[in-house]
Amino acid sequence: MNRITLAHGAGGSMMQDLIKKYILRYLGGSGTEVPLEALDDSSVVNNIVLTTDSHTVKPLFFPGGDIGRLAVSGTVNDIAMMGAEPMALTSGIVFEEGFKIEIFKRIIKSMQSTCQEAGVFITAGDIKVVEKGALDELYINTSGIGRRNEALENNLAEIKKYRNINFRWLLDSNLKAGDKIIISGTIGDHGVAIISSRGDYGFKSQIISDVAPLNKIVMKLLMVGGILKMKDPTRGGLSNTLNEWSERSKVGISIYEENIPIKEGVKSACEMLGIDPLEIANEGKIVIAVLPGKVDEILDELKQSKEGKEAQIIGEVTNKFNQVVLETKVGGKRIITPPLGDPIPRIC
C-alpha cells in the first residue's frame, strides 16, 4: 500500500496502522501524562486535556444536525470521555471559494446553539479559503481543552472504595474482568441518517442523527461514580470502541446481542445495504465501562436523562479470553474483530 485510501481515515484498523507506522514513529515520545501514543480520546499535558478533530461530513446538513453541531459536539465529547470538563474550543474553517455566506451563517448559528447547550465557548479561530475545486464546500476543525473537576474526583473516589487504582483519568486501559459495559441508547442512528440523506444509496428513512454534546450527562454520571472509561462510539462504531478497550486493557469483552438497543429502521437499512450496525458511527451515544457494584446506579441515572432513556447493560469484561465476543440471539458466539474502518465515508 503506497497511497492513502478512504479506509485510512475511517477510524478502524487501517487508520491505526497508518498512525503507528508513520505518525507515532516520528511524533511520539512526549512523555506527557496521556501522550499521543495512548491513542485515547484526548491527550493530557500538565493536567490540561487537549484534543482535535477535523470534520468533513457530507452533506453539510442532515436529519438531526449539521457540520456545525457535529464539530462542536465531537470535540466536547472527546474531552468529556476522559472525565474532564470542557474549558474552551477553537475552530479552524476552510472554505471553498464561492461558498454561500447565508449557509455559513446557518452553520455558525448551529455552532452557537450547540456551544450554549454544552456550556462552552469558542475562544480562538482561523479562516482559510481555497480556490474553487480545491475543497468540497467547507471543512471545520475543532480543537479544545478541558480540566479536572469535582465530578471526576468523586468518580475516582467511588472507584477507590472497591479497587486499588493508579489512574487519574478515564482511559481505554482502565478495564478489569468483571466490569460491566453499558450503552446509553440505540446504535447506528447517525450513520443511517447520513446515508439516507445522501439519496444516492437508493433509500430513504425516518432515522435522525443522534449528534449531541454529552458533557452534561457525563458530569452527572461521574457524580454517581464508579466509571472506569467512557467512549462515544464514532467512526468504526461500537465494534471499534470495544476492540480498542480490549486491546489497551488487555482483557476480553462479552457482548449480548439481544441487549443492544437498535431502531427497526436502522436494522432494516443495514440489512438492505449489507453493513454491520456495530461498525457504524454514532455521535450522541456513550459506551461506559463501570464497576459491577455501581452499574445499577449508573443505569438509573442514565434512564432519568433525555440522552439515556434507552440505556442498557450490554456486556461484561472477562479474563477468559482476550477478544470481543458477541453472544448472538440464537445462542451462538461470534468474534467481533476490529473493523477496517467505518463502512460509510465522510460520516463526520
**Choice from 60, 71, 84, 94 touching its own copies (CB under 8 A):** 94
The answer to whether residue 280 forms part of the interface with its own copies (CB under 8 A) is: no
Q: Which of 191, 252, 235 is nearest to 16 (CA)?
A: 235
Query: Which three cell numbers mark 66?
Result: 449539521
Q: CB of residue 306 vs its own copies: minimum separation in angstroms?
A: 25
How far, in Å, CA of 152 to CA of 166, rounded? 14
Site size with its own copies, rule: CB under 8 A = 79
**Apex CA 139: angle with CA 43 and CA 122, to 5°?**
55
**Apex CA 140: angle with CA 134 and CA 145, to 5°?**
145
CB 270 within 8 A of CB 276: yes
The answer to whether residue 92 forms part of the interface with its own copies (CB under 8 A) is: yes
Q: CB of residue 62 vs its own copies: minimum separation in angstroms?
A: 16
* Site stretch for its own copies (CB under 8 A), options 140-148, 162-170, 195-203, 269-277: 140-148
How far, in Å, CA of 298 to CA of 312, rounded? 10
**Choice from 20, 59, 109, 199 touching its own copies (CB under 8 A):** 109
How far, in Å, CA of 52 to CA of 268, rounded? 34
Q: CB of residue 287 vs its own copies: minimum separation in angstroms?
A: 20
**Choice from 61, 87, 273, 293 touching its own copies (CB under 8 A):** 87
* Site stretch for its own copies (CB under 8 A), options 82-90, 178-186, 211-219, 303-311: 82-90
**Choice from 20, 119, 136, 304 touching its own copies (CB under 8 A):** 136
Closer CB to its own copies, residue 16 or residue 246? 16
* Site stretch for its own copies (CB under 8 A), options 101-109, 203-211, 284-292, 326-334: 101-109
**Choice from 13, 35, 61, 262 touching its own copies (CB under 8 A):** 35
Closer CB to its own copies, residue 144 or residue 308? 144
Query: Which three cell numbers mark 53?
Result: 478533530
Residues within window 304-333 making contact with its own copies, judged by CB under 8 A:
none
Q: 50: how many CB neighbours lie within 10 A of its CB?
A: 18
The answer to whether residue 211 forms part of the interface with its own copies (CB under 8 A) is: no
The answer to whether residue 13 forms part of the interface with its own copies (CB under 8 A) is: no
The answer to whether residue 153 forms part of the interface with its own copies (CB under 8 A) is: no
Residue 92 identity (one-letter amino acid): G
How far, in Å, CA of 188 to CA of 53, rounded? 20
Q: 24: how many CB neighbours lie within 10 A of its CB?
A: 16
Q: Which of 307, 262, 283, 140 is nearest to 209 (CA)?
A: 283
* Count of residues in the chain: 348
Cis peptide before 59 (omega within 30 of 0): yes
The answer to whether residue 85 forms part of the interface with its own copies (CB under 8 A) is: no
**Which residues contact residue 187 at a Cβ distance below 8 angstroms, ignoring those fewer than 6 apart?**
233, 237, 238, 260, 261, 262, 266, 277, 278, 280, 282, 285
Query: Which three cell numbers mark 221?
Result: 454520571
**Choice from 20, 59, 98, 303 touching its own copies (CB under 8 A):** 98
Closer CB to its own copies, residue 133 or residue 274? 133
* Site stretch for its own copies (CB under 8 A), options 102-110, 175-183, 204-212, 282-290: 102-110
Closer CB to its own copies, residue 42 or residue 312? 42
Closer CB to its own copies, residue 135 or residue 223? 135
Q: CB of residue 212 vs its own copies: minimum separation in angstroms?
A: 19
Q: Which of 307, 289, 121 is nearest to 214 (CA)?
A: 307
